Amino acid sequence: MARTIVILFAVGVAASAQSNNDCVYALGKSLSLMPVKDCYAKNAGYYKTFSTKPECKNMDIYPGTYQAANCDGWIRNICLCIAKNSGLLTSAFTFDTDVFNSQVLKGKCNGNSLYQTAYNRCYAEAMQRFNFMRLVACLRYAVLQIPA
């Protein structure tokens, strides 16, 4: 009986770890799956300003030294363009969470409790200025359990 409980516990831990790994991998790959097309070219001036500001470096390190209030405005149009190309922009110009979860992440984070717990907080922080790149960074850190 005790051996059965230990085996069931080990299987549960292994399944949870695999779910975590699948979610982390899906989040890491998510940005590369979104078609950029000409989004940077259309917004070259904004991107040049963004990329030269020291406070805008390390956007993918969460929370890091990135200053959203000073930087997100410079790349908002790029994010909107990429979201539109990816089918992630609703008719109300909001980020389509359902499409992100089902098509970009392929459902790999649906059963992940760390992802589910962090999603609303990360969304509120990152999507005030429509910076889904920061949303992904925040979610990856939450799933990896790196303290913010």
pLDDT in tens, 85-140: 999 999 998 999 999 999 999 999 999 999 999 999 999 999 999 999 999 999 99
Q: Give me the pLDDT at residue 120, please.
A: 95
Number of domains in the chain: 1
Question: Side chain identity at 143, as an amino acid letter?
Answer: V
∠ CA 124-95-52, rounded to 5°: 75
**What does the pLDDT look like over 44-85, one tens digit per residue?**
999 999 999 999 988 777 777 889 899 999 999 999 999 999
Q: How far apart are CA 126 and CA 58, in angstroms?
A: 14
Record the pTM: 0.80
Domain residues for 72?
2-144
